[in-house]
Amino acid sequence: MENEAVLDRMQARLAQRPQVLAQRRETVEHPFGTIKQWMNQGAFLMRGLEKVRGEFSLTALAYNLRRVLNITTFAELMAAARSKVKSHSLHAFYHAARRVCR
């Protein structure tokens, strides 16, 4: 296999620090499970890499906005967006919302 050495090194690192995998499961994989359950996103509706990227970007935007609104109020979100977004594009708003979410 082409990447067998890489996989072996990763397996060795995980054997030394098994808590890393547990932490990854808690932090990284949780949003994907939430998206699948909350938005019924078991499979992509679109076909083609560019369309799937667009579909997932919209799904991630909805997920992040929902998280932000669980953490803060809508008024605070809008104030943060106004102070951080110079253009009114969806892309810029998405990145402002992600900054607020952190």
Q: What is the DSSP string of 17-33?
A: -THHHHHHHHHTHHHHH
3-state helix, strand and coil shares in percent for the chain, rounded to the nearest 5: 75, 0, 25
The pLDDT score that the predictor gives to residue 82 is: 77
CA 16/CA 33 separation, integer angstroms: 27
Higher pLDDT, 101 or 54: 54
Q: Please give the average per-residue pLDDT across 4-14, as a whole number.
A: 86
Q: Indicate the pTM of the whole model.
A: 0.51
List pLDDT tens digits, range 16-45: 888 887 777 777 777 777 777 777 767 777
The pLDDT score that the predictor gives to residue 88 is: 56
